[in-house]
Amino acid sequence: MNRTTEPALQLPDKITVPEPEVFELKNGVKVYCVNAGEQEILKLEIIFRAGEWYGDKIALATMVNKLMEAGTSAKTAYELSQAFDYYGAYIETECTADVASVKLFTLTRFAKETFSLLMEMLTDAVFPEEEMELFATQNIQQLRINRKKVEYLARVKFNHLLFPSGHPYGRIADEESYRQHSQNDLKKWYTEKYSPQNCLAILSGKTDDNTLQYLNDTLGEWKSKVQHQPVELNYPSEFIPQKSFIPVEGAVQSAIRIGCRIPNKLHPDFASLTVLNTVLGGYFGSRLMSNLREDKGYTYGIGSATVSMVHSGYFFVTTQVAATVKEDALIQIYKEIQILREQEIGEDELQLVKNYMIGTLQRSMDGPMAISDRIKSTLIYGLKMKYYENYLHVIKNISPEQLIHLAKTYFHTERMVEVVAG
């Protein structure tokens, strides 16, 4: 047998991008439904435009999102938690700078009971003072621990420099952040933002004949207490390229973060930039990994990413390296970025990256709950799942000439934010 020759490869020309079924509940809430999978389980995610973007009070959006679990007028936090536990269901809350969401994971046979409990949280949370205090002490202790981590120090400073002047994407919480909000602040935010006019729902997993009916009987019955007012806010779109060093006594490794702003998903260049980024630091065989880890052994890992947020986007390189080699690590990172601007990517390397990315796209849509995440990450931009067909088209067709042009347009080594901690 010939073990030196690679078996023949085949890559899919088309990827099936599943379109969700869309239902409108009695009260007008739209539900995007992915009914698939073998297991009798469901995920219901309800998404609100209630991230930090929509206010100027730091950490308030997160506190409301997390403390919805902390009791209703009928149930204490303990009773509410036990009620979900009783059905083996669990709740996950998530608050990004853009959106806040509540996710319910349940066995399909308990949909009726658990949907009702979820609605209780969404409509009747009371934010008890003692739960607010517990939240504060837990977050303050976690903050103190995080401040001992070079990776954390570099990350928050980097975000702050990239999104300065109170921009919601760059705010840094401090110990006071968790104690400055009153119960009324929380209730006001909750009432204004968590409303049927400000939400959409994604249901994924194996539904049965009754699932949608249960949803209509619960989420569909929700009436707003106040008229929802869409908020439009503006923050500066500029940042000042600069270098920042945070000394950390006794650190054996330094955390490095380098990057700049780029357009988000709504811009046609975002998909192409993701290809360029993958070449640089987006997969195990990337140039940064090959150079700093596999050739020099400076680090356990190095990567780069393109991040899309609803109102902006950014690109960054991140790593933790032996403190003794941080200067050369910086030189190597800038060198690799500079090469993207000066030399065309070879055909073989580009083909490998394209194939890898097509596989990654397929993996990201495997199974109903993975698909629901993809739906969410298009819906919040007002995009449809067609976005991924276009994304696939970009991956397959982008040329080395286009990529070098892109690097020259967006990646200026002298116009980056650079943070080193430790």
Shortest spacing between CB 125 and another protein, in angstroms: 15
Handedness of CA 104, 120, 195, 92 (dihedral sign): negative
Report 107-126 residues binding another protein (CB under 8 A).
107
Distance between CA 21 and CA 30 in Å, rounded?
10
Distance between CA 20 and CA 22 in Å, rounded?
6
Q: Does 294 bind another protein (CB under 8 A)?
A: yes
Among 26, 30, 144, 415, binds another protein (CB under 8 A): 144
Q: Does 138 bind another protein (CB under 8 A)?
A: yes
Q: Does 73 bind another protein (CB under 8 A)?
A: no
Q: Which residue has the tokens 């853009």?
A: 98
Shortest spacing between CB 53 and another protein, in angstroms: 29
Shortest spacing between CB 212 and another protein, in angstroms: 21
Sheet holding 90-95, edge to edge: 21-24, 30-35, 199-205, 41-48, 100-107, 90-95
Among 150, 219, 317, 337, binds another protein (CB under 8 A): 150
Report 4-33 residues binding another protein (CB under 8 A).
4, 6-12, 15-16
Among 35, 355, 377, 402, binds another protein (CB under 8 A): 355
Comparing CB distances to another protein, the nearer of 75 and 188 is 75
Q: Does 305 bind another protein (CB under 8 A)?
A: no
Which pair of tokens denotes residue 314? Answer: 């950014």
Q: Does 251 bind another protein (CB under 8 A)?
A: yes
Strand 243-246 vs strand 417-421: parallel, antiparallel, or unpaired? parallel
Shortest spacing between CB 281 and another protein, in angstroms: 14
Instruction: With beta carbons less than 8 A apart as the criterion, state whether 17 and 67 touch.
Output: no
Per-residue contact flags (x/-) with another protein for residues 307 to 326, judged by CB under 8 A? -------------xxx----
Q: Does 87 bind another protein (CB under 8 A)?
A: yes
Comparing CB distances to another protein, the nearer of 237 and 351 is 351
* Upper half-sphere CA count for residue 41 (Cβ side, 13 Å): 14
Residue positions counted in the chain: 422
Report 264-283 residues binding another protein (CB under 8 A).
283
Shortest spacing between CB 362 and another protein, in angstroms: 6
Q: Under rule CB under 8 A, how many of the chain's residues touch another protein?
A: 75
Residues 6+ apart with CB under 8 A from 150: 246, 248, 251, 253, 254, 255, 320, 421, 422
Span from 231-239, 259-267, 290-298, 389-397 in contact with another protein (CB under 8 A): 290-298
Residues 6+ apart with CB under 8 A from 278: 286, 353, 356, 357
Q: Does 346 bind another protein (CB under 8 A)?
A: no
Query: Which residue in 348, 347, 324, 349 sits closest to 336, CA to CA?
Result: 349
Span from 175-183, 207-215, 250-258, 402-410 in contact with another protein (CB under 8 A): 250-258
Instruction: Supply the angle between the helices 400-410 and 269-281 in degrees, to the nearest 10.
Output: 90
Distance between CA 171 and CA 164 in Å, rounded?
8
Shortest spacing between CB 268 and another protein, in angstroms: 24
Comparing CB distances to another protein, the nearer of 172 and 252 is 252
Among 295, 327, 347, 389, binds another protein (CB under 8 A): 295
Span from 38-46, 228-236, 267-275, 378-386 in contact with another protein (CB under 8 A): 38-46
Q: Does 173 bind another protein (CB under 8 A)?
A: no
Q: Does 263 bind another protein (CB under 8 A)?
A: no
Instruction: With beta carbons less than 8 A apart as the criterion, state whether 70 and 131 touch.
Output: yes
Distance between CA 392 and CA 117 in Å, rounded?
40
Among 116, 141, 324, 343, binds another protein (CB under 8 A): 141
* Residues paired with 329 in a beta bridge: none
- Which one-letter DSSP state was computed for residue 291? I
Residues 6+ apart with CB under 8 A from 112: 210, 214
Among 57, 66, 112, 149, binds another protein (CB under 8 A): 149
Among 267, 363, 393, 396, binds another protein (CB under 8 A): 363
Shortest spacing between CB 229 and another protein, in angstroms: 34
Instruction: With beta carbons less than 8 A apart as the criterion, state whether 187 and 70 touch.
Output: no
Query: Which residue in 22, 20, 31 sits closest to 216, CA to CA?
Result: 31
